[in-house]
Structure 1
Amino acid sequence: MLPSSSLRAAFAAAALVALGAAPAAAEEGAGPVLTMGTLPAIDGARLGSTFDVPAVFANVGDASLQRVYVTFAASRGLEFTDVPANCLVTEGSSLNTPLSCVFEQEVRPGKVYALPRPLTVKVGGNALYDTASVMVSTYDAGAPDGNDPRTPGTAPAVTLTERPDLEPADPGPSDHPAYDSAEVKVTADNTADFRVTGAHLKGRVGDTVPLTVKFTDAGPAWVRRDDFVERSVTKVRVRIPAGTTVTRTPGFCHRVSAGVYECGTSESWVLENFGETYSFKLRIDKAVPGAKGSVALEDEPRPFDPDKGNDTAAITLTVPGSGGPSGGSGPSDPGGSQTSGGSSDSTAGDAPTTGTSDTPAGGELAATGSDAALPLTGAAAAAIALGTAAVVVTRRRRTA
């Protein structure tokens, strides 16, 4: 990774080159039109290191503004340091931290403005695939939707500085003249241990027993899909012991073949030390000697997860008359056995799998992270959303 001084220089150069070049030529009667440049990505960021996010923008319209807002946002693995006193930090979200700075000063057409110093971002111990963003707008994009508290920064207040040495490039017509934004995608040098937990079940023929298996991100990093696609952060394959029939299937799970179920996650991210719990109901139809079951993570590349030894766990079932417990393939369950009265999993072989789909209220992840919805609305949410997708803050222009 580049040292902090080199990163600061690279960021500043990128922000200024994107804005400077040719004189602005806004459409007549366009009013104020705000625009920003782009910022480079950071790969291999060291935990505990810092980088700067500059705020450089231009008004390429034909009218002045008397007030503008500059809003920064950092996802869960990043945090801002030295926040100015005229910036408000919105608290309460487990996924991102937005802070909004208001500037009661004239922003003239055809001029470039910048903060006297960029905001510094620290890479936390739980960082992996994270994003920082900056947005300029005519409205408070960081305002919370609900009652989340907002706290002013403690560093000295700052004002916008006009940059007469820079001339904004002509961006053409804007799809969103009231705001523009830029993002920094950060890939940290960190790991996250995805693991599964199996179960030890007991019951008699005719019993209906619960089977609970788990997927957990044991950290240290939280994980959001690095492709920022809204789909499960991983998938879990559950293989049911023979001689049983599934009578209830949990939410996020579906049958893919006889005795085999595929389970997803409630979100496209998972917080460190959280995950999903999958609770089936099984009816024991007959005692099958040597019946096996297992739970396993899907076979896809996870470069952040060096420990593959806990990607598979056993599901064992003890039924009187079957000759004792039988185990699934893979290492023994690293923790959490369920043995009282019968536990369960779904059917094996070609046994019928009748049952209802039961969608619990979010499972472990949703129960602890459902409050992570962004406190941003309208165009701000479209520009700075750090929830189910990445921060979408690239500049978009209409084509002729």
Structure 2
Amino acid sequence: MRQRIRPSHIRHSAALVAAAAVVAAVPTALAPSAHAEEGEPSLVISNLPRTSPKPGDVYDESVVITNKGTAAADGVTFRIRLTRGLDFPDAVKGCTYSTVEDQVRQALCELDTVIEPGASVETPIRFKALPDALMEAVEYGTSATGAAPGEGFDDSYRRLTLTADSSADLVAVGEDTEALAGDRQSITVKLRNDGPGWIQNQDSDDQTALMVQIPPGTVAAEVPDECAPFGIDGPSGPAGTPGKAKYVCWPADHTLDVGESLSFTFMLDIKDDTKTTTGEVKATSVYDIHPVFDKNPANDKDRIRIAIPTDYEPEPSPSDDPTDGSTTAGNGNDPDGQSVGGTGSTGGTGSTSAGTSAGTSTGGTGASTTGSVDGNLASTGSDGTPLIAGAAAAAAAFGGVLVMAVRRRRATAQSG
């Protein structure tokens, strides 16, 4: 069997990072494939052994290329593609390296050899796990004829998924805001990846997601395009559907890099009778399954809290009975639901009563002071009403003294 070494010929400019090395011909007595047409090669690639490398580890294995066809494969274009948590440890002669979509590293290598029908050759595949490695994939192989592979997988071009010996910490971030009953309020919730591994599920459609429980007493009027209603165990309707109680949100590209934070903004209609209300966000998956790579569940949940101030009750009018020397302060609720107020009294004792939510008002001797919850004093000595009434009474009393004095003087003059 002959093996020829020729100058490399790059057939695709958009190639990915790869590694190939010495190619050794290994004659094998294999029968031609029953499906191969006469006069055509039919190359088959063996499977790479599974692995779970730690960040920093180098994977060094080989695959066997076997020709099960009826004609020789004269030259093989071999391609390796690595997801972003993997890289090539060194460059190999005869390979062209590049990066393509989604940060995939590729190597396109020309193996200048002839593989006769029934023969096999072996070629190495080497890559290393980067610090952010977690859920990764490796594509490797050629085409049935030995030309550059296309897209998709078959016996000549394969894919290996692997999970690095690492983790990623998902964090759910809620929001604490205020609104008025009957109004519309936006809330923004977030899903963050604190690493060390980047996240993209390579094995299933159960992608990383954020579960959003809408606060009771509110209605989701506007929903992000990345969020779908959540049913019993998964998405239950088209993304962006309004009016549901629970949603599941996930990135459009199913990717969450280390340190990346995804935001989802909902517009909520607050019902007229709604009091302060609380919902929840949870870092999970599209089917609400806790990801095994997340080893820190303590920060998986957070709350959505919408504080709605309670309306104050109107203040009652002062008593119309001039003989009733008391007024009643209005009661109201502060944001924590505490009732504030008090009752003043008239007389010479100079009593004081609590009148505002922020503090107390103090009355003078013989006057009543009563405050309202909004901080304005009503019917007190501050606006002069009791003081004027007191002055009128004093003037009346003083006038009586004058009348008596005049009468006494007239009586004296008449008697004289």
Q: Name the structure 2 match of 1:296.
A: 282
Tell me by how many angstroms 1:20 deviates. 8.4
Contact 1:71 1:142 in 2 (8 A): no
In structure 2, the residue matched to 1:187 is: 163
Looking at structure 1, the residues matched to 129 and 307 of structure 2 have their Cα atoms a distance apart, in angstroms, of 48
Aligned partner of 1:241 in structure 2 is 215
Q: Work out the CA distance in 2 between the residues paired with 1:313 and 1:23.
A: 61
C-alpha distance in 2, partners of 1:92/1:39?
23
1:131 to 134, 137, 162: 137
For 2:47, give the aligned amino acid. Answer: T
Question: Is 1:69 the equivalent of 2:77?
Answer: yes
Return the match for 2:309 from 302, 307, 320: 320
Tell me, in whole angstroms, the C-alpha distance in 1 between the residues paired with 2:259 and 2:245: 29
Structural RMSD (CA): 3.0
Q: Which of the residues 287, 299, 302 maps onto 1:310?
A: 299
* Structural mapping, 1:1-400, within 5 Å: 22-27=29-34, 29-43=38-52, 45-115=53-123, 118-137=124-143, 138-141=146-149, 180-225=156-201, 228-229=203-204, 231-256=205-230, 259-286=245-272, 288-298=274-284, 300-321=289-310, 324=335
- Give 1:77 shift: 1.2
Whole-Å separation in 2 of the counterparts to 1:142 and 1:80: 22
Contact 2:75 2:113 in 1 (8 A): yes
Q: State how far apart, in whole Å, the 2-side matches of 1:254 and 1:325 are.
A: 35
- Could you tell me which amino acid in structure 2 is paired with residue 38 of structure 1? N
Higher mean C-alpha displacement, 81-90 vs 248-257? 248-257
SS at structure 2 position matched to 1:51: strand
Query: 1:146-179: CA deviations, max 9, x gaps?
Result: xxxxxxxxxxxxxxxxxxxxxxxxxxxxx96xx7
Distance (Å, rounded) in 2 between the aligned partners of 1:256 and 1:82: 47
Secondary structure of 1:282's counterpart equals: strand
In structure 2, distance between residues paired with 1:51 and 1:221: 18
Deviation at 1:275, TM superposition (A): 4.9
Matches of 1:256 and 1:131 in 2, distance apart? 29
1: CA distance, partners of 2:248 / 2:121: 52
Q: Quick check: 1:232–1:267 contact (8 Å CA) kept in 2?
A: no
Greater RCO structure (CA 8 Å; 6+ sep): 1
- Alpha carbons of 1:278 and 1:134: their partners in 2 closer, same or farther (altered >3 Å)? same
- Deviation (angstroms), 1:303: 2.4
What secondary structure sits across from 2:101 in the alignment?
coil
Larger Rg: 2
CA distance in 1, matches of 2:212, 2:164: 32
**1:31 aligned partner, one-letter code:** E
Give the TM-score of the pair, scaled to structure 1. 0.60
- Please tell me whether the aligned partners of residues 221 and 269 of structure 2 are also in contact (alpha carbons under 8 angstroms): yes
Q: How many residues align?
A: 271
* d(CA) in 1 for partners of 2:228, 2:139: 37
Paired amino acid for 2:283: L
Contact 1:67 1:103 in 2 (8 A): yes
**Aligned mates of 2:290, 2:115 — CA distance in 1:** 49
Indicate if the aligned counterparts of 1:57 and 1:136 stay in contact, CA closer than 8 A: no
**Deviation for aligned residue 1:104:** 4.3
- Deviations along 1:16-52, one digit per CA (max 9) or x if unpaired, are 9xx9875323446151111121222113x22211111
1:324 counterpart letter in structure 2:
P
Counterpart code for 1:314: R
Letter in 1 for 2:300: D
Distance 1:73 1:263 in 2: 29
User: Does the CA contact (< 8 Å) of 1:81 and 1:120 recur in 2?
Assistant: yes
Q: Offset at 1:182?
A: 3.8
Q: Cα distance 1:29–1:209, how it changes in 2: closer, same or farther (>3 A)?
A: same
Partner of 2:331: none
Distance 1:312 1:20, change over 3 A: farther
DSSP-derived class of the 1:126 partner = coil
CA distance in 1, matches of 2:177, 2:67: 67
What is the one-letter code of the residue matched to 1:124? L
Residues 46 and 63, structure 2, Cα contact 8 Å, conserved in 1: no
Q: Which moved more, 1:70-79 or 1:24-33?
A: 24-33
Structure 2 unaligned blocks of 5 or more: 1-23, 232-243, 312-333, 338-416
Unaligned runs of 5+ in 1: 1-15, 144-174, 327-400
TM-score by length of 2: 0.58
In 2, Cα distance between equivalents of 1:127 and 1:23:
39
SS at match of 2:208: coil
